[in-house]
Structure 1
Amino acid sequence: MLMDLSPSGFGDFARKVFHREFSSHYETIEFARKNAANFLSMANLLMGLSSILCTLNGSWQCAAWLLLIGFMLDLADGAVARQLNTCSALGAKLDDFADFTSFGLATALLLHTNSLLDALLVVVYVLAVLTRLCFYSSGIPFMYRGLPCPYASAILACASLLTGSHTVVLRAIFIIMILFMIDQGVYPHDKILESQLWKKMVFAGGVAMIVCSFYPLACLYHLVWSMSYILFPDVLWSFKV
């Protein structure tokens, strides 16, 4: 069939092409908007899997840095989902799976020794993270029951980097973090990117530290940040818009 080359026919053809291109562009943007938070969760999952591979290959420093990147991604994905109004059951499950991989399995492998005692400690840590993710619900709006595992992971990653992966120090911190995670203590929801300006600046500072590789300043920064959440949860980190 020959195309109608009359002005009206060409105009109709141009409008159809424009409409098709516009629709395709809009669908692409809408797909990206709906899945922006999921992309961040997938990136967190990728950091966790990469950290595991680094640990298995003996690159424990790289493994710890990847966990800190995952920590920042985890803080961002929930905020993005709420801001774009794209919260979903699938997104929540993906976030939990990414958290378990990065802050459970990958973090537990930071204690890389051949000791049977350490192997048991690794198993207990993973079970503590699983328990924290699956069974702990505070029943209180904007509150967590038990220490959120991303903060435990950030502390362990920083301790590993700052101490040269000192086994005795890591054992002690592993045990402390396990106790905090299975404890019934209440912690505020860390909506850092949806709260006061200074909290957003803290997040931006954490990103800048990692991007610019200010070591060991970046480790100290994230360590103090995470410790402040544990020691002063209500005074500093309660959710306020």
Structure 2
Amino acid sequence: MTQSPLHRSGLRDDTTRLQIKEFARKNAANALSVANMVMGISSILSSLNGHHHAACWLVLIGYLLDSADGAVARLLGACSALGAKLDDFSDFTTFGIATALLLRTSDLLDNILCVCYILSVFVRLCFFSSGIPFVYRGLPCVYSSAILASASLLSGGNLALLRIIAVVMIPFMISQNFYPHDRVLESQAWKKAVFAGGVVMVFCSSFPTASVYYMLWSVSFMLFPNSLWSCKGES
């Protein structure tokens, strides 16, 4: 029995819809990584054009996107080598180059500090894998970036303060100390609430309130990684 043209058209439509859904499933996390990279590039351009507050704000939005992309990939079963590369590229763009430009002036020493910061982020990403499940080496550069961006917003771009913070963050990032893999969206309810609060803060609150929120979030991970943010005992 031959199929009618209408029936064949319906089958083609169903196949197309399935292909679109599969494409969306495989690339949802990649889209978040690309969005993070776009935030980083936009922050770079904002810094170069003297839009200081916008540059910091874009870094904080990248912070949220970076917290979500891995969780989305694991939830949808779409982890891939391409996704890992995109994540590293976006992290280097947003939390390396874009964040370093928050420190940039015409002074030679400030430019040297920018280069050192970018190189420390590069080293941090190279040592990301520790070989131990749910653990990685060195302070994740996303937290260092959030601390710098928040401090910059709170201090009005006080360069002396930012230089001190950057000098402190560099050894934390390149250290061989172990930090837990902070799967915020795959963890306890309070961590998910922290992420939700971050979304509300960055889109619905003033600069000072959001900056304090992100500062506390990031500093808590840096100072109390195992007692607060460890994955141990979680499903």
Question: Is the partner of 1:216 in helix, strand or coil?
Answer: helix
**Equivalent of 2:230 in 214, 231, 238:** 238
Provide, for residues 51-91 of structure 1, a one-character-per-residue CA deviation record: whole Å limited to 9, x for no partner: 00000000011000000000000010000001111101111
User: Which aligned pairs between 1:143-182 and structure 2 lie closer than 5 A?
Assistant: 143-182=135-174
Q: Distance in 2 between matches of 1:162 and 1:144?
A: 30
User: Which aligned pairs between 1:12-51 and structure 2 lie closer than 5 A?
Assistant: 12-51=4-43
Q: Distance in 2 between matches of 1:68 and 1:40?
A: 14
TM-score, reference length from structure 2: 0.96
User: Which aligned pairs between 1:1-241 and structure 2 lie closer than 5 A?
Assistant: 12-239=4-231, 240-241=234-235
Q: Distance in 2 between matches of 1:136 and 1:89?
A: 15
Q: Distance in 2 between matches of 1:65 and 1:78?
A: 22
Compare CA radii of gyration and give the structure with the larger one.
1
Structure 1, 212-221 or 100-109: larger mean CA deviation: 212-221
C-alpha deviation, 1:113, in angstroms: 1.2
Q: Distance in 1 between matches of 2:131 and 2:8?
A: 53
C-alpha deviation, 1:140, in angstroms: 1.6
Aligned to 1:5: none
Aligned to 1:3: none
Name the amino acid aligned to 1:94: L
Question: Is the partner of 2:195 in helix, strand or coil?
Answer: helix
Question: Is the partner of 1:106 in helix, strand or coil?
Answer: helix
Identity %: 59
Aligned residues: 233
Name the amino acid aligned to 1:53: L
Q: Distance in 1 between matches of 2:127 and 2:22?
A: 34
Moved over 6 A (4+): none
